[in-house]
């Protein structure tokens, strides 16, 4: 183990993993803000609805932990029927493995010896740890290190859906890589991955489905090419919350990598559903609780949540229960709320839940979840993998 790997291990082991059970429950209004809160009734319903739908369609769920970064939530998803989880980075996968999650797929390729060493080190103690590859070079490096340890690593071939982000070109190049993996004594071809992230937030169901079907057709053609070559493909993993109910018609994905369905956010709400302008298939369970702390002008009131509490690349957060107001970024620590015609009077000291613009990076700004039921927080959930992006 290298010095840096040992350092990361020490940091990981210092992070809490288990729920912090409170001797006395805390009412929401007594939480110190900003606080990341989870409505457990909505959260539980979201998990159950996704699992029920996919079960009926005979599609497995491999929930993506890059969204919640929390082993407690990963366990709940697996207990509900998910076959395993995804992790975007090695560090996230290490957290999940250390917490006892057995089946973990790293969905981003690695290409350097240090990362391959870390992966193989984790894989040595966790046989269910898998990873994607998208080039002969990265496959060879992984095979070499795994071979030295006497390991056979399960790998997925990552297909580029045309985003130009990660993945090998579909078609003949993908076939060549699969064949190359098949010749290795240290790698086991376990399936394909194809994730069209550029389609998840296309507004309008019909428009989104049309674009998604066009892009994923390259994956269908690649699957047929492998079949013609006599290569079995047990799993095609990919997709997400925005395409979960398109996958059965397309017939390519049989393992869904959904994440945001558990929490939801404004970006997903606004993409639209089959029969509505808003995507309401899953409820919003995640909010940031903020407090009104200052009112320098009569038509403005300031809350204690700014860029350090919410992450967004498109829009501002919104109050869950108050209409007729507009949120403006007030800097790192503050949000300035314009009181146009508020449906509820906001007074100094009021604590109010706000919808997150984008749940994944917002979660990464916080250390703990405060899950509640009937307005009471009974335990605190550490966001163990927060900040683990290496």
Q: Count the alpha carbons within 13 Å of 196 in the hemisphere toward its beta carbon.
A: 27
Rounded alpha-carbon distances, angstroms, from residue 352 to 80, 96, 135, 289, 306: 31, 32, 49, 5, 14
Structure tokens at 271: 């993409």
Split at pLDDT 50, 70, 90, the class of 244 is: very high
Residue 10: predicted pLDDT? 87
- Dihedral, 53, 55, 60, 65 alpha carbons, nearest 10: 50
For residue 112, give the 3-state DSSP assignment. Answer: coil
pLDDT tens, residue by residue, 116-156: 999 999 999 999 999 999 999 999 999 999 999 999 999 99
Split at pLDDT 50, 70, 90, the class of 390 is: confident
Pairing mode of beta strands 20-27, 376-382: antiparallel
Residue 338: predicted pLDDT? 98
Rounded to whole angstroms, how far apart are CA atoms 268 and 266? 5
- Indicate the CATH number for domain 3-37+281-382: 2.40.37.20
Residue 7: predicted pLDDT? 85
How many other β-carbons are positioned within 10 Å of the β-carbon of residue 285? 22
pLDDT tens, residue by residue, 95-109: 999 999 999 999 999
Residue 2: predicted pLDDT? 75
Rounded alpha-carbon distances, angstroms, from residue 350 to 140, 285, 346, 371: 58, 20, 6, 20
Residue 255: predicted pLDDT? 98
Q: What is the mean pLDDT of the chain?
A: 97
Instruction: List where CATH 2.40.37.20 sits in the chain.
Output: 3-37+281-382
Residue 29: predicted pLDDT? 96
Split at pLDDT 50, 70, 90, the class of 3 is: confident
Residue 50: predicted pLDDT? 98
Instruction: List where CATH 3.20.20.10 sits in the chain.
Output: 41-261
> In this model, does residue 1 exceed pLDDT 80?
no
> In this model, does residue 11 exceed pLDDT 90?
no
> In this model, does residue 196 exceed pLDDT 80?
yes
Q: What are phi and psi of 228, to 5 degrees?
A: -65, -30
89 touches 378 (CB < 8 A):
no
51 touches 80 (CB < 8 A):
yes
pLDDT tens, residue by residue, 255-281: 999 999 999 999 999 999 999 999 999
pLDDT tens, residue by residue, 350-387: 999 999 999 999 999 999 999 999 999 999 999 999 99
Residue 12: predicted pLDDT? 85
Q: What is the mean pLDDT of residues 322-340?
A: 97
Rounded to whole angstroms, how far apart are CA atoms 195 and 256? 10
Domain 41-261 architecture: Alpha-Beta Barrel (3.20)
Rounded alpha-carbon distances, angstroms, from residue 316 to 44, 296, 306, 354: 26, 21, 10, 10
Residue 363: predicted pLDDT? 98
């Amino acid at each position: 183990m290298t010095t840096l790997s040992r350092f990361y291990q020490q940091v990981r082991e210092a992070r809490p993993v288990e729920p912090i059970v409170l001797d006395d429950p805390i009412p929401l209004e007594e939480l110190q803000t900003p606080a990341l809160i989870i409505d457990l009734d909505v959260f539980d319903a979201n998990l159950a609805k996704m699992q029920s739908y996919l079960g009926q369609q005979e599609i497995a769920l491999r929930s993506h932990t890059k969204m919640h970064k929390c082993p407690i939530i990963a366990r709940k998803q697996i207990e509900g029927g998910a076959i395993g989880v995804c992790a975007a980075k090695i560090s996230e996968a290490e957290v999940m493995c250390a917490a006892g999650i057995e089946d973990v797929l790293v969905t981003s390729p690695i290409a350097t010896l240090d990362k391959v060493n870390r992966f193989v080190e984790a894989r040595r103690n966790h046989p269910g740890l898998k990873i994607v590859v998208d080039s002969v070079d990265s496959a060879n490096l992984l095979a070499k290190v795994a071979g030295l340890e006497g390991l056979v690593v399960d790998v997925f071939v990552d297909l580029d859906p045309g985003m130009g982000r990660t993945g090998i070109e579909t078609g003949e190049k993908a076939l060549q890589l699969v064949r190359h993996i098949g010749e290795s004594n240290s790698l086991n071809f376990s399936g394909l991955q194809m994730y069209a992230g550029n389609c998840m937030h296309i507004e309008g169901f019909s428009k989104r489905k049309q674009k998604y079907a066009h892009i994923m057709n390259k994956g269908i053609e690649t699957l047929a090419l492998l079949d013609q070559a006599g290569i079995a493909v047990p799993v095609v993993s990919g997709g997400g919350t925005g395409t979960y109910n398109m996958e059965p018609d397309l017939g390519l994905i049989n393992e869904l990598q959904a994440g945001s369905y558990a929490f939801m956010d404004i970006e997903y709400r606004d993409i639209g559903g089959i029969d509505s302008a808003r995507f309401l298939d899953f409820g919003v369970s995640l909010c940031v609780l903020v407090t009104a702390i200052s009112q320098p002008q009569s038509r403005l009131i300031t809350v204690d949540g700014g860029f350090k509490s919410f992450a967004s690349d498109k829009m501002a957060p919104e109050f869950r229960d108050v209409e007729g107001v507009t949120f403006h970024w007030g800097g790192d620590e503050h949000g300035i709320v314009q009181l146009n015609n508020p449906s509820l009077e906001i007074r100094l000291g009021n604590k109010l839940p706000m919808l997150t613009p984008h749940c994944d990076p917002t979660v990464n700004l916080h250390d703990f979840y405060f899950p509640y039921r009937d307005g009471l927080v009974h335990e605190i959930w550490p966001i163990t993998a927060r900040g683990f992006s290496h």
